[in-house]
């Protein structure tokens, strides 16, 4: 899993360099979860040996983004709103 952790950390840095600090933070948190053997580790285990250029970290970030936009990840919406200084819409709080 060490290679996957490194890929997530590298991608987090790239995201920050490109002006996406929130995505960088999300990917660093995902890397920490990989190390801890948490849910991200379970989800990403099958991608440990994906070929270079497959960007598993960006795919995970994109999937989370889609879940938030589709309002299927209420807890992520709440964390995101707090991080950017916004408040969730009334229908986003369950």
pLDDT tens-digit series, residues 40-87: 899 888 888 888 888 999 999 998 888 877 877 666 544 444 444 445
Q: Could you count the other beta carbons within 10 Å of the beta carbon of residue 7?
A: 23
**pLDDT given at position 74:** 65
Q: Among residues 61, 55, 54, which one has the least CA distance to residue 23? A: 61
Domain count, the chain: 1
**pLDDT given at position 32:** 92
pLDDT tens-digit series, residues 5-49: 999 999 999 999 999 888 898 899 899 989 999 888 998 888 888
Show the domain range for 66.
Answer: 2-92
pTM over 0.85: no
Q: Which two structure tokens, joined as six digits, stand for 26?
A: 């999300």
What's the length of the chain? 94
Q: Could you count the other beta carbons within 10 Å of the beta carbon of residue 67?
A: 14
């Amino acid at each position: 899993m060490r290679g996957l952790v490194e890929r997530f950390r590298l991608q987090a840095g790239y995201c920050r360099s490109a002006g996406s600090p929130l995505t960088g933070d999300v990917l660093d948190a995902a890397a920490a979860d990989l190390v801890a053997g948490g849910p991200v580790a379970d989800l990403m285990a099958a991608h440990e040996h994906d070929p270079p250029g497959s960007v598993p970290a960006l795919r995970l970030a994109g999937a989370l983004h889609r879940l938030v936009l589709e309002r299927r990840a209420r807890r992520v919406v709440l964390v995101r709103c707090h991080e950017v200084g916004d408040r969730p819409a009334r229908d986003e709080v369950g």
